[in-house]
Structure formats: C-alpha cells, structure tokens
Copies of this chain bind each other. A is one copy, B any other.
C-alpha cells in the first residue's frame, strides 16, 4: 500500500482562471527583513571554536598579511601596534580582536523607502540577490554576456519579490558599459528602479566615492552619517589585502557606510583542503579587513563575511552544495557570534549551467544551512548559476520562491491554542476528514506556505497544463512580473540630479574595459 493521497476540497473561484485572479488580488504582506526565532545550530563546541580562534591568532602573529598598494593601511596598522615589515603586517595576539570590538553588533541599513530599511545582525536575516556574474542565462536565449538591461531587469525582479529584502549590488556585470563607468549606471539603477536597500561599488576608491555621492543625492542631499549602503570587499586569499578594496572600504567607513569583509576561499587553492584550516585562515583574513575599517572609523558598521567552496579534484573547478563548505559556514557563523558581529555567508550556490535538478539540490543544500546557522546577510540568495559566472532568470524565480519557504520555516512551531487545535480534535469523530470543520475553514487560507512555482496538481492535470517543468513555469513568471513592473516613486528633482551626476561623471571618466 502506497503512501499517497489526493483528495478534493471545494474549489473556490473555479479552476485556473479563478486561482490566478485570487492570487493577483491577494494583498502582499511583507516584512522588510526576516526575524528568526530559532536558535542557531551549533556544530562545534566552545572548546573547538576557541581552538580555531587561537589558530587564527597564530596565523596573524607568525605569517600576518600582505597589504598591496595601500601605504595608508600600513601606516594605520603600524600606529595601532602591528609589526609592519615592508608590505607584510603581523599582529600581536589579540590586537585584531580588540580593534574590531568597536564595531556594532547590529545596525540599520536605511532604504530610500523607510518601510524597506533592514536590520543587519542579531536575529535578523536579510536576503540579497546574486552578485558579480558576467553572464546571464534564460531558457529562451541561453547563456550570453550580461547587459545593463539585464542588470535593470534583476533590480526590478528583486524589487518585486517580497522575500528579497535587499536590491544587492552587482546583480550582474553590465558588460556593455565600460568598467570605468558601469558603477554609475548600477547605483543609479538601484536608486531609481527600486526603493530597497542596496550595495555600492568597491572596485576602486573613486567608484566608492561616486556611490556615496549618488546615495547622498538619492536620499535627499544629506546622509547625516546614516548607513544607506552595505558593500562587499573581498580579501585576495591567501592572506593578501589589495589596495583597491581597502581604498573602497576606507571611503565607505569614513562615511559610516557598511562593508562586508569577505575572504573568498576555494579550499585546496586559496587555503588548505581541510575545513578547519579554511576556517582559521578566513577568520585571520577577515579580522584584518574588519580591523582596518575600525581604524578608519571606530564604530563604522562592518559585517564578517565568508565565501567558502570546495573543489573538484579532477579539474580544480569550484563545487557547491557539498558538505565541507556547510561545515565552514556553521563554524564561522558561531565564531562571528562570539565576536559579536553580523555574519554574511551562504546563498543559492551551484555549479550547474541550468536551472535543473543539480542547481536545486546544490542551492538548497547551501540555503538550509545558511538559515540554520543564523546567517545575517545572505548574498546570492537568488539567481546564481555556474559557480557565479552566470545569473539565471528562471533560477532567480525558483530561488526567490524558496526564500518564502525558508522564512516560514525559521518562524518555528506555533504552539498557540489555535495551533494546538485540541478542541477541534476532541470534538472530532475518528475516520471523518477535517476538510469541512470549523477549525480547518478558519485556518485554511493561512495554514500552509504556498509555492509560486511548484506544480502540485495531479499527473493528468499537469499534462493538460502542458507538462511543464519548474524552469518552464519560472520562465513564464519572470516575464509576467517584468511586464507588470511599475517603478517606485521618486522626486523628479532628485531623479534629475542623479541623472546629471551620472552624465557629468561619465563625461569626465575615460572608457576602460579592465
């Protein structure tokens, strides 16, 4: 005897058309960010964490880091008590931990629409879309270089989705715009086509400065030290910090804008193959970057970031959805809590080229740990394909749908009297269905999380509907959404000033593509 059931309930509104109507008319309730009630899962004992922290201190003390092309950072570190030898900086034990102690455990990133401002840190989780892909993928055109139009499309799709709390940053690389100028178009797009919080440019100090200036205009002329951007600076692992990233971090920190300090570790290449080794090295690298931020401006918001991946022993290619990066993620989330800092990691990561089963297995195998570990800022929460080389339109829709599932999960078990339903059960006769009972009717609409993409109908109904797979249904959805998109309001004068700034800077800057 199988374990399957299919039972009819009273249809409301009559079939497909009625269902669509019902869905369209539903009020979209949304929280500006996710508040977790579940305690984070602790993978490693306190003793184990202390051991890994000691290893990071050993690395900082004995190897230290190289600071490339940024004498200002060398000077700041020397003044703070580090041992500077040329471009090598070694840190006495505990120095970095002491320096980062001025960073806030929680901060607010303000959005242009105050209803979309987010908390970063504590029991909050913020979902942001894919970042950094030079290619896009969709079922119609396949894989191709990303353009500014694609960039704007993903900003719009994130704006429209209730479970993407953040507009992200380089949602894809608009490669049809010169590298020297594309940051202007990107920041403008976030400010104009969305009113959710966003990320600024980090590829050079002056691009960060442009980002701050555009944000100033977008937020009405004065930031007054309010944090309105959270931007991503990466270490050049192993154990190098490059001047371009530090310059961007310095601009942001000076303006009280947040940075996420992220060692990018492909274990076996940028760190040892073993997870405990990757953890200690990530911590060491992140401590240096976060210390730099605190030296620029004590109290500036900073996020401890980790991007860790395993690799294929055949080809050296990064692999995703594997258990080892999940170990690293849980461990570093706990380390960040012990440091009292917000933590960024995880995402809907996959090596697949398509929105297929591999993409979904791998993405979920990272996203569930991301949630269970209590990650605060989740970049790449939707859209990522092909190890980050591509962002997919269908993948974006499918991943975003899962964010709703995860959000409901982390709310935990409802133990209210209504949820216990004990009176309903006690009033019930064995063998009769609950479909028509008062309790069911009172709870039916809100009882279960509903996927926007999953097909749960009978096989026969599914065949009648065209035998579509999930990616094909997602293909319909992103087109419907973009077609229905309407931009958030913006003051005409502000918009004009933003456009003027972009035009002026584009005229000043040379066209370069590197």
Contacts and interface: CB of A to CB of B under 8 A. Distances in A.
Interface string A261-277: 01010111111111111
A394 B375 CA distance: 33
A362 B454 contact: yes
Interface string A153-181: 00000000000000000100100000000
Contacts of A234: 1, 3
Contact of A274 (B270, B354, B420, B467): B420
A88 B357 CA distance: 47
Contacts of A418: 274
Interface string A51-89: 110010011001111100000000000000000000010
B43 A459 contact: no
A328 to B, nearest CB: 8
A217 interface: no
A426 B61 CA distance: 10
A512 interface: no
A447 B267 contact: yes
Q: Choose among A48, A273, A355, A431 the residue with the greatest number of B CB atoms under 10 Å from its CB.
A: A273
B447 A5 contact: no
Contact of A459 (B330, B389, B455): B389
B240 A389 contact: no
B414 A274 contact: yes
A326 B275 contact: no
Interface string A202-241: 1100000000000000000000000000000010101110
A262 B331 CA distance: 36
Contacts of A131: 2-3
Contact of A443 (B11, B274, B415): B274
Interface residues of A, number: 156
A387 B4 contact: yes
B4 A327 contact: no
Contacts of A236: 431
24 contacts: A1-B234, A2-B132, A2-B389, A7-B269, A11-B314, A12-B314, A44-B412, A63-B428, A66-B430, A135-B459, A238-B425, A238-B431, A240-B431, A268-B435, A274-B419, A276-B421, A277-B439, A279-B413, A281-B425, A310-B449, A317-B456, A317-B458, A319-B451, A364-B365
Given A44-B412, A273-B421, 17 more contacts: A1-B132, A2-B173, A7-B269, A11-B314, A11-B315, A59-B422, A239-B431, A240-B430, A273-B434, A273-B448, A274-B414, A276-B413, A315-B461, A324-B447, A327-B409, A357-B474, A361-B364
